[in-house]
Amino acid sequence: MSKKPHADTRLALYVERRVLELKPKKSQLQIASEAGFPNPNMVTMIKNGTSKLALDRVPSMARALECDPAYLMRLSLEQAVGDTAAQAIAEIYGTPITVNEVGWLAEIRDASSNTDPRLTSRSRAALRTVFGR
Amino acid sequence: MDRVEDLTANERAWLSFLREVSKDADPSPTLRHVQLLRRICALR
């Protein structure tokens, strides 16, 4: 069995990115400590996929990484149980929306004067351009 | 906490497309994005 079973999962890649973004502000050891990991190497292990992020650590890890807990939970759930099972859980318990997504929805409502606009092919094309896809 | 299930069908479509186009990177709406949304909505 692979020694890094969780390598390249979206969660591992995201944690790696946040650690890098927070580097000028706090060290990886600080992040591990803030997240409440007794093992200071835990963040490294999550980053390189040796270990997965336990679901009960998501709230403290989100605070330590200064990221959205709903987003981190989505990635952690996907890592813990896989895509299909994560979708089934979301179907039953609901899918939380991140703070950024709430921001997008507020802007859409504001820009459309609350007319609940349809997502047209023109809107899709414009957004694809902005995101370079 | 807000949930996808509380949104209108159109809002769900926007959100779903945003996740797809951003590769689910949870981007924040920047000034450029807001200006684009206003242009899109003004064209209706």
Interface of A with B in 84-103 (CB under 8 A): 94-98, 100-103
- Ordered by start, the domain boundaries in chain A are 10-93, 99-130
Structure confidence by residue, pLDDT tens digits, A60-102: 999 999 999 999 999 999 999 998 999 899 889 888 899 999 9
Flag whether pLDDT at B42 surpasses 90: no
B21 and A127 within 8 Å at the Cβ level: the answer is yes
Output the pLDDT for position A104: 95
Predicted model pTM? 0.83
One-character DSSP codes across A19-63: HHHHTTT--HHHHHHHTT-SSTTHHHHHHHTSSPPPGGGHHHHHH
**Distance from C-alpha of A124 to C-alpha of A118, rounded to nearest angstrom:** 11
Give the mean model confidence (pLDDT) for residues A47-56.
Answer: 96
More confident residue, B44 or A104: A104
Structure confidence by residue, pLDDT tens digits, A29-43: 999 999 999 999 999
Percent above pLDDT 70 for chain A = 98
Name chain A contacts of B34, Cβ cutoff 8 Å: 107, 111
Residue in A71, A111, A122 closest to B26 by CB: A71
Residue in B1, B21, B41 closest to A70 by CB: B1
Flag whether pLDDT at B18 surpasses 90: yes
> Does the A10-93 domain belong in CATH 3.40.1800.10?
no
Judged by average pLDDT, the poorest of A58-62, A102-106, B20-24 is B20-24
- Residue type at A133 in one-letter notation: R
Give the mean model confidence (pLDDT) for residues A117-128.
Answer: 92
Q: pLDDT confidence of A1, banded at 50, 70, 90? A: low
Output the pLDDT for position B44: 67
Flag whether pLDDT at B38 surpasses 80: yes
A119 and B13 within 8 Å at the Cβ level: the answer is yes
- Ordered by start, the domain boundaries in chain B are 4-42
Q: Does A54 touch chain B (CB under 8 A)?
A: no
Output the pLDDT for position A115: 93
Residue A10's closest CA among A34, A46, A36, A58?
Answer: A46
